[in-house]
């Protein structure tokens, strides 16, 4: 039986650990040749001693798959360009980009340094934009040459980006930005055969192990709801050619649960047909709020 990603070439950023590692192994198990990108930094983005991308490549090859490591910084133009070049030079094609790289520098806003803001927004949001830009340029050239790609992008947002999270203003802002980027890319790249979606995963990784500390022990029923491997099946499906027409969507994934997230859309509206006075505007707003749904709580509130 043919595997879902047989013959596809898939790039996974931040693929050395956690969700990225799970995605890389899952794509390889479905027949993909995988470019495993990881800068090899610690949880806060500072350099680490080992090469996690190489370890994942070794795992894939030991299981009979094909993979190559890439250690560039995808939040730079040169690093993102070399990522695409690695796929094309090694395998001659590129079908799927999984944007996953990230790290944390958590602080309450009043204590959040400008450098910590810039660093997190850079690696998450810019680290999504630049690989997407470079791979889309390749796919656009392919489409113009008459070789329309069946191309896919899977971006990684977070519940923090959808609802907010106390102590994570930088991370929440970056992850919310990724949702906006996903919507724009899906609309712009549809003409080239590119589908762009995002997942908002909840899983136990280096970034979340403190939040999920109470679930670290093995569950009695054998199902570890916080295992990152639970997220990868949906990422694999979104990155495959299995379904056409799914684009510009955000899916929350946790354990055995998949939810289609519905973002900002028009709710209750009042139109005076003329300029409001401040008093009138306030009265109208209070009335509309009474008709609107209650927003979800910010994580940690």
Active site residues: 158, 171, 175
Phi, psi of 168 (to 5 degrees): -135, 45
Q: How many residues does the chain have?
A: 301
Residue 100: name the closest of 3, 26, 29, 150 by CA: 26
In angstroms, the CA 78 to CA 260 distance is 35
CA–CA distance from 43 to each of 11, 17, 102, 150, 175 (Å)? Answer: 21, 11, 9, 34, 17
The position carrying tokens 């993979």 is 67
Q: Are 128 and 178 in contact (CB under 8 A)?
A: yes
Q: Are 60 and 67 in contact (CB under 8 A)?
A: yes
In eight-state DSSP terms, residue 47 is B
In angstroms, the CA 46 to CA 56 distance is 20
Q: Are strands 194-202 and 257-261 parallel, antiparallel or unpaired?
A: unpaired
Q: Are strands 257-261 and 250-254 parallel, antiparallel or unpaired?
A: antiparallel
In angstroms, the CA 10 to CA 24 distance is 8
The position carrying tokens 């693929």 is 15
């Amino acid at each position: 039986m043919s595997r879902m990603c047989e013959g596809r070439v898939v790039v996974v950023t931040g693929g050395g650990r956690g969700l990225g590692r799970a995605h890389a192994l899952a794509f390889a198990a479905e027949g993909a040749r995988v470019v495993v990108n990881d800068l090899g930094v610690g949880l806060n983005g500072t350099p680490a001693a080992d090469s996690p991308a190489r370890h994942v490549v070794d795992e894939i090859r030991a299981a009979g798959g094909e993979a190559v490591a890439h250690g560039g910084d995808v939040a730079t133009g040169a690093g993102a360009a070399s990522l695409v070049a690695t796929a094309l030079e090694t395998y001659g094609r590129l079908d799927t980009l999984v944007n996953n790289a990230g790290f944390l520098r958590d602080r309450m806003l009043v204590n959040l340094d400008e450098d910590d803001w810039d660093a997190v927004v850079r690696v998450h949001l810019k680290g999504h934009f630049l690989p997407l830009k470079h791979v889309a340029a390749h796919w656009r050239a392919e489409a113009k040459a008459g070789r329309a790609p069946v191309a896919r992008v899977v971006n990684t947002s977070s519940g923090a980006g959808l609802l907010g999270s106390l102590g994570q203003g930088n991370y929440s802002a970056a992850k919310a930005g990724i949702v906006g980027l996903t919507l724009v890319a899906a609309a712009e790249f549809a003409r080239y055969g590119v589908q762009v979606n995002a997942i908002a995963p909840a899983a136990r990784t280096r970034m979340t192990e403190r939040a999920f500390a109470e679930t670290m022990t093995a569950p009695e029923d054998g199902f570890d709801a916080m295992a990152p491997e639970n997220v990868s099946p949906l990422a694999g499906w979104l990155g495959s050619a299995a379904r056409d027409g799914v684009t510009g969507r955000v899916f929350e994934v946790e354990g055995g649960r998949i939810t289609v997230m519905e973002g900002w859309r028009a709710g209750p509206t009042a139109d005076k047909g003329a300029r409001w006075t401040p008093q009138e505007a306030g009265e109208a707003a209070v009335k509309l709020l009474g008709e609107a749904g209650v927003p979800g709580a910010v994580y940690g509130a």
